[in-house]
């Protein structure tokens, strides 16, 4: 039966905010990413084949669900809570209706193993982590997810905010049935409820709540909803599933987010809609046909090209003349926390450098394997390994497709930071030590690596390996196209971008920036630079950029004796054949216009002010340390150059 805890005198009246982590993803993507991630994490060591995940959509009447909807309060069932007036627009009455359900089942996995004791939150129990923990990881090393929010993802796609689950466990051969309902605080029949509820059984005079182990109930539930839990693994049933979750939407999510483990032979997926009759099986042998069957032909075309490039990466990984293993960056700094890594041409042998540059110029894919030292706060240091694969832009592949893949999952919002044109960029992390390290830097949705998130974990002495992984593709690209050689020869373009020269001793005069003399003329000394305060981040879609503060901007400004406001004057142009300096002279309003064709969005309200925007010039006043200015609408097929000037004062 279901038990909804009643609110006590010291309980807060609040709604879980965990689902806010997934607000940027649609429902189908969220549930597919979470379900498959959990299944890949739970693969059995004694299972030789791929993990198989089955998604099945079906319809059931309330009369079929009602036997499994009773609660501890006489006369009330799950529908009464889901239809409570306090839920407002989220309240929905399901009694007497046909209810659309989604079943998710995995095979070749070990099920929810470990202790079933709620008080063993940190024991590493997969069972406790899935059913009881919120924001507390119950997973060990070598896993994809580690935030304990899986059940929240499953409930957020349910119109009843609910799911049931049956697991058969590999460690003790036991079968259990559980359920979780993630409703907000609400009042019903004069009683206040905390909101969340669980399906199971009470024990020890109500002091403990345990999973249901009654085989009769488990078999009845399985037969009613067509679940197959004879083998080890996990079966989940989500009632009143969101209308946007259909066969096609889930297929797109599978192909976009998990094509890599499918191509590697580590995963197969089947999707079935019992009502419509649509059914698709996706494996390494059928993935091409599944892509062709997509209704969105533009998306199918992009996926076909992406799969083609991914297969090229896999060929490279098996040993190719354009693949260069064992590359180590140059690491500067004495204390671990102060270290920074850079990639330079000198990291390659002369012969290898010539070969990799020549191959890239010919349009061939090239790859490099990098190793870094990971130093934990406790224990011995280990070596982390990752790979970068790049291919130059060609007439047939100029879209700059980028994929960051950690242990099979796509880190979809991670940016490559490459400023020039390229055909494809893959950053692959399959090494366990490196994957575990980077996993600490991810939020619950696993879509981006965040320096702050890694440092919050307090498990490693430095974040320099993370910084290097995020910038390695850009640094390798610079070497391949010769930017590292040209930067000393070209005009000193943007050398002082977003830095502040120290004020002149004469208050009536300001210190000017280095105008960037040519290398064949004497170059005057550059003014002393102070801390860089803001930076430009390239947008994932390559159509713009964001201006954001550097980490600890408040402390940096305090050290420099600076105060807000800051004024940023920005000038942009597309790269022309005449080079960097000539590009700004070649600018035309036909290219773009900040006042007409370019969108500028500043947040939060009051942190910045757009002072002027015209032609290729933009002026922004920064009033607070937390801000973001997103500029978008540029041609993603052209290289965008940016000159900036930053000064203190309005």
Q: Read out DSSP for 82-137?
A: HT-GGGGGG----TTSEEEEEEEEEESB--S-S---TT-TTS--HHHHHHT-SS--
pLDDT class of 586 with cuts at 50, 70, 90: confident
| Domain boundary assignment for the chain | 2-243, 317-483, 491-648
User: What sections of 482-599 are H helices per DSSP?
Assistant: 483-486, 553-560, 580-585
Residue 18 has pLDDT above 60, yes or no: no
pLDDT tens digits, 371-386: 999 999 999 999 999 9
What six digits make up the tokens of 640?
Answer: 């965008």
For residue 439, the 8-state DSSP code is H
- Please report the pLDDT score of residue 611 as a whole number: 94
Task: Give the whole-number percent of the chain exceeding pLDDT 90.
Answer: 59
Residue 506 has pLDDT above 80, yes or no: no
pLDDT tens digits, 539-585: 665 678 889 998 788 888 887 888 999 999 999 998 876 667 678 88
Residue 29 has pLDDT above 70, yes or no: yes
pLDDT class of 268 with cuts at 50, 70, 90: very high
Query: Which residues does 277 contact at the CB level (< 8 Å), separation at least 6?
Result: none
- Mean pLDDT is lowest, of 125-129, 157-161, 641-645, 646-650, for 646-650
Residue 639 has pLDDT above 60, yes or no: yes
Residue 359 has pLDDT above 80, yes or no: yes
Element housing 35 (H / E): helix 27-41
Over range 500-507, report the average pLDDT.
38
Over range 60-76, report the average pLDDT.
92
**Residue pair 622/565 in contact by the 8 Å Cβ criterion:** yes
Of 56-70, 178-192, 414-428, 630-644, highest mean pLDDT: 56-70
- Please report the pLDDT score of residue 121 as a whole number: 67
- Please report the pLDDT score of residue 485 as a whole number: 59
User: What sections of 328-459 are H helices per DSSP?
Assistant: 350-361, 432-439, 451-457
pTM of the model: 0.72
pLDDT tens digits, 91-145: 889 999 999 999 999 999 999 999 998 887 677 788 998 998 876 654 555 444 4
CA dihedral 456, 460, 461, 463 (to 10 degrees): -70
The angle that helices 432-439 and 464-481 make with each other, rounded to 10 degrees, is: 110
- Residue 480's CB is within 10 A of a number of other CB atoms, namely 23
- Residue 399's CB is within 10 A of a number of other CB atoms, namely 17
pLDDT class of 636 with cuts at 50, 70, 90: confident
- Please report the pLDDT score of residue 168 as a whole number: 97
Q: Which residue has the higher pLDDT, 639 or 457?
A: 457
pLDDT class of 278 with cuts at 50, 70, 90: very high
Over range 497-505, report the average pLDDT.
39
Over range 491-507, report the average pLDDT.
38
Q: Which residue has the higher pLDDT, 144 or 349?
A: 349
- Residue 330's CB is within 10 A of a number of other CB atoms, namely 11
Query: Residue 190: phi, psi to the nearest 5?
Result: 75, 5
- Please report the pLDDT score of residue 578 as a whole number: 62
- Residue 370 class from Cβ within 10 Å (0-12 exposed, 13-18 middle, 19+ buried)? buried
pLDDT tens digits, 510-522: 444 343 334 344 4
pLDDT class of 395 with cuts at 50, 70, 90: low
pLDDT tens digits, 237-251: 999 999 999 999 999
- Please report the pLDDT score of residue 503 as a whole number: 37
Q: How far apart are the first and last CA of the chain?
A: 65
Compute the mean pLDDT over every residue in the chain, rounded to the nearest whole number.
Answer: 85
Query: Reading across the β-sheet that carries 544-549, which strands appear in turn?
Result: 534-538, 544-549, 628-632, 599-603
Coil, strand or helix at 138: coil
Among 527, 538, 475, smallest CA distance to 503 is for: 527
């Amino acid at each position: 039966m279901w038990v909804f805890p009643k609110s006590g005198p010291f309980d807060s009246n609040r709604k879980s905010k965990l689902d806010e982590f997934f607000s940027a993803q649609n429902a189908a993507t969220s549930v597919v990413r979470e379900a498959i991630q959990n299944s890949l994490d739970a693969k059995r060591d004694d299972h030789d084949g791929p993990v198989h995940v089955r998604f099945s959509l079906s319809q059931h009447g309330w009369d079929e669900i009602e036997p499994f909807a009773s609660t501890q309060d006489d006369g009330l069932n799950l529908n009464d809570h889901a239809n409570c007036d306090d839920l407002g627009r989220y309240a929905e009455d399901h009694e007497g209706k046909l209810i659309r359900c989604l079943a998710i089942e995995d095979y070749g996995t070990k099920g929810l193993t470990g202790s079933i004791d709620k008080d063993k939150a940190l024991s590493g129990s997969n069972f406790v982590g899935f059913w009881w923990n919120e924001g507390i990881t119950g997973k060990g090393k070598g896993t994809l997810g580690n935030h304990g929010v899986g059940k929240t993802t499953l409930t957020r796609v349910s119109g009843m905010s609910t799911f049931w689950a049956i697991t058969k466990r590999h460690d003790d051969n036991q079968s259990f049935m559980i359920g979780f309902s993630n409703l907000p605080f609400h009042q019903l029949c004069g009683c206040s409820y905390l909101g969340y509820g669980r399906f199971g059984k009470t024990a020890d005079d109500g002091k403990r709540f345990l999973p249901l182990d009654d085989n009769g109930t488990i078999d009845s539930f399985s037969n009613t909803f067509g679940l197959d839990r004879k083998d080890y693994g996990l079966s989940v049933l989500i009632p009143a599933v969101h209308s946007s979750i259909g066969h096609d939407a889930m297929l797109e999510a599978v192909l976009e987010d998990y094509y890599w483990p499918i191509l590697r032979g580590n995963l197969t997926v089947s999707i079935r809609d019992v009502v419509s009759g649509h059914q698709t099986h996706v494996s390494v042998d059928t993935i091409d046909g599944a892509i062709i069957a997509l209704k969105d032909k533009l998306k199918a075309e992009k996926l076909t090209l992406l799969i083609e490039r991914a297969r090229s990466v896999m060929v490279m990984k098996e040993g190719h003349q354009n693949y260069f293993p064992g590359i180590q960056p140059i690491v500067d700094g004495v204390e671990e926390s102060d270290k920074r890594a850079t990639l330079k041409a000198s990291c390659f042998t002369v012969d290898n450098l010539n070969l990799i540059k020549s191959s890239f110029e010919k349009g061939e894919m090239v790859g490099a394997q990098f190793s870094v030292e990971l130093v934990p706060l406790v224990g011995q240091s280990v070596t982390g390994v990752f790979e970068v694969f790049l291919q130059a832009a060609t007439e047939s592949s100029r879209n700059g497709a980028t994929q960051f893949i950690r242990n099979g999952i796509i880190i979809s919002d991670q940016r490559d930071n490459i400023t020039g044109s390229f055909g494809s960029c893959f950053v692959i992390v399959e090494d366990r030590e490196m994957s575990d390290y980077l996993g600490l830097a991810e939020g619950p949705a696993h879509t981006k690596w965040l320096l702050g998130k890694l440092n919050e974990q307090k498990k490693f002495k430095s974040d320099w390996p993370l910084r290097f992984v995020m910038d390695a593709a850009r640094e390798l690209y610079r070497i391949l196209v010769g930017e590292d050689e040209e930067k000393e020869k070209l005009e000193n373009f943007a050398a002082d971008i977003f830095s502040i020269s120290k004020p002149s001793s004469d208050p009536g005069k300001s210190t000017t920036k280095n105008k960037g003399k040519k290398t064949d003329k004497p170059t005057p000394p550059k003014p002393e630079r102070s801390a860089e305060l803001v930076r430009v981040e390239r947008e994932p879609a390559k159509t713009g950029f964001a201006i954001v503060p550097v980490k600890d901007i408040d402390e940096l400004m305090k050290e420099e004796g600076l105060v807000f406001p800051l004024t940023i004057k920005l000038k942009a142009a597309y790269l022309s054949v005449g080079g960097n300096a000539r590009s700004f002279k070649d600018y035309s309003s036909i290219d773009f216009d900040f006042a007409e064709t370019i969108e500028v969005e500043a947040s939060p309200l009051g942190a910045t002010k757009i002072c002027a925007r015209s032609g290729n010039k933009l002026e922004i006043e920064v009033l607070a340390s937390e801000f973001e200015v997103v500029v978008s609408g540029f041609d993603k097929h052209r290289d965008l150059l940016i000159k900036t000037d930053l000064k203190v004062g309005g």
